[in-house]
Chains A and B, each alone.
Chain A
């Protein structure tokens, strides 16, 4: 697992270092600033994410909560 983690971290660092060279003027960001382009979950998805985290073993990496909340059955 440690080896895999190191590989993934190295890959992420490479992606970050390559992409951080990008330059965009403010006027080029009109589409990026569209509310549908937001890199977040929609507010209306909140309860969907809750039930998925209770019914599935995997959770996280979605900018949401990582614990707490429910003793579901």
Chain B
């Protein structure tokens, strides 16, 4: 009986599956329903449903990038080019991409970003001469970008807005960007016009601020955030006040051009060039410069605040080339030449070699070389002349070379990271950076992508 039952059940199952295979389904009725739902004035009944895209607004992707940065060095600009450069920074950025199609079926992307950094900087404490200034701060930077792309031509236009705020610096930015593909769609031109309208808060080193009249036996402490505290001999705060500090503008205008071209089935390149002009207050008010006269004469004017020209013109030009070797090795190469009218010339070259261990997991070792000549306004601690018109001891403008190497890991499993379908991408990257100025840093970054 049992055998008969199983035989009948097996036969029934076979008939059922084969039955599905042999049923000739009438797809026209189904198609008509699709056509009805798609039909809008101007849309023909013969619309190709294979190209159908949902028009409603949807979340395309959410990205979260976090980094931990740690730096040591001994050439802080706050203390005139000699002093600790210990910095730690923890930064987090969230980016939300929204997508929809307009009636003309053009692709619209709205990208909403929010970044939050918290840093501690040993040199910040020395904005106050006695080293009791504020040792850190936070920066918040929201952004918004809208781009519309023509589905047929691939050409796009967009507009972006940025804001960045921290205790001593506020920045507002705006950009317009266009891109156009070549007729055969193997090349693409891009233009981006950007404007940043910043305000530098004029926080001077405490010894440059006229001290308030205070009772005998008290101490005045001025922090980097502009808070002035009066404390007694035991360290107790007698009074605390925050001054409304003046600001000075800094404007950056730039035009960025790019052209990318697919050259062979394995090679594509991109040329990049920016034309950048800056005007306004281009130094920072709490960067000291120490002159040798201070030692012999002891006059107050021997220590000054960094002074730089109020305009700067930058011209960087770059080339990217990506080449696919075999089936699982890729070369990602980049070179940039940079020049500006402050006398700096620089070369940057980097090579990253992603190796695809599987189609969904790659390991990418990388190396970046950088060199620059000194700006004509730079001199180390104690080596400027009081006759110099402009002067800085910020080692950002010194002559040096640097190397940056590390490795990245990228996981994009089809079933999602850790089996979570929406978690489609995970990237982890570590890099070690050294400058010939003795500055050393490490950075660890993690990027999570959700769909």
Q: Which residues of A contact B (CB under 8 A)?
A: 1, 4-5, 8, 12, 15-16, 19-20, 22-24, 28-32, 34-39, 42-48, 50-52, 54-63, 65-71, 73
Q: For window 97-145 of chain B, which residues contact chain A by CB distance below 8 Å?
A: 121, 123-124, 127, 139, 141
Instruction: Apart from A1-B341, A67-B194, list 10 A-B contacts with CB within 8 A.
Output: A37-B330, A42-B447, A43-B65, A44-B65, A44-B447, A46-B67, A46-B93, A52-B404, A56-B402, A57-B375
Show 19 residue pairs from A and B whose CB-CB distance is below 8 angstroms, ordered by the A residue.
A8-B273, A12-B259, A16-B187, A19-B263, A23-B184, A36-B364, A39-B260, A39-B320, A42-B408, A47-B443, A48-B67, A48-B443, A58-B344, A60-B336, A61-B256, A65-B194, A66-B196, A66-B274, A69-B139
For B276, give its contact among A30, A39, A42, A66 (CB under 8 Å). A66
For A60, give its contact among B172, B254, B263, B269 (CB under 8 Å). B254
Residues in B whose Cβ lies below 8 Å from that of A32: 262, 265-266, 268, 324
Given A1-B315, A51-B69, A43:B63 Cβ within 8 A: yes
Q: Mark B333-357, 1 if CB is under 8 A from A, else 0.
A: 0101011111010101000001010
Determine the residue in chain A with the shortest Cβ distance to B93: A46
For B338, give its contact among A51, A54, A55, A61 (CB under 8 Å). A61
A23 and B268 contacting across the interface, CB-CB below 8 Å: no
Residues in B whose Cβ lies below 8 Å from that of A59: 314, 316, 338
A71 and B65 contacting across the interface, CB-CB below 8 Å: no
Q: Which residues of B contact A (CB under 8 A)?
A: 63, 65, 67, 69, 71, 76-78, 89, 91, 93, 121, 123-124, 127, 139, 141, 162, 164, 166, 168-169, 171-173, 182, 184, 186-187, 194, 196, 198, 200-201, 252, 254, 256, 258-266, 268-274, 276, 278, 284, 286-287, 314-318, 320, 322, 324, 330, 332, 334, 336, 338-342, 344, 346, 348, 354, 356, 362, 364, 370, 372, 375, 396-397, 402, 404, 408, 410, 412, 427-429, 431, 433, 435, 439, 441, 443, 445-447, 449
**How far in angstroms is the closest Cβ of chain A from B179?**
11
A55 and B396 contacting across the interface, CB-CB below 8 Å: yes
> Which one of B261, B268, B316, B370 has the greatest number of beta carbons of chain A within 10 Å?
B268
A28 and B322 contacting across the interface, CB-CB below 8 Å: no
A60 and B447 contacting across the interface, CB-CB below 8 Å: no
Residues in B whose Cβ lies below 8 Å from that of A16: 187, 259, 261, 271
CA A50 to CA B441, docked complex, whole Å:
13
A62 and B252 contacting across the interface, CB-CB below 8 Å: no
Given A36-B330, A36-B332, A57:B346 Cβ within 8 A: yes
A43 and B164 contacting across the interface, CB-CB below 8 Å: no
Q: Is the interface of B mostly helix, strand, loop or mixed?
A: strand
CA A27 to CA B139, docked complex, whole Å:
46
Residues in A whose Cβ lies below 8 Å from that of B270: 39
For B258, give its contact among A20, A22, A63 (CB under 8 Å). A63
A70 and B166 contacting across the interface, CB-CB below 8 Å: yes
Residues in B whose Cβ lies below 8 Å from that of A51: 69, 71, 89, 433, 441, 443
For B429, give its contact among A38, A42, A66 (CB under 8 Å). A42
B446 and A44 contacting across the interface, CB-CB below 8 Å: yes
CA A19 to CA B71, docked complex, whole Å:
43
CA A73 to CA B84, docked complex, whole Å:
11
Residues in B whose Cβ lies below 8 Å from that of A71: 166, 168-169, 200-201, 284
CA A63 to CA B427, docked complex, whole Å:
20
B186 and A56 contacting across the interface, CB-CB below 8 Å: no
> Which one of A32, A62, A63, A67 has the greatest number of beta carbons of chain B within 10 Å?
A67
Residues in A whose Cβ lies below 8 Å from that of B121: 73
A20 and B316 contacting across the interface, CB-CB below 8 Å: no
Residues in A whose Cβ lies below 8 Å from that of B447: 42-44
**How far in angstroms is the closest Cβ of chain B from A72?**
8
- In order of increasing CB-CB distance, the 3 nearest A-B pairs are A67-B252, A71-B169, A61-B318
**How far in angstroms is the closest Cβ of chain B from A37?**
5
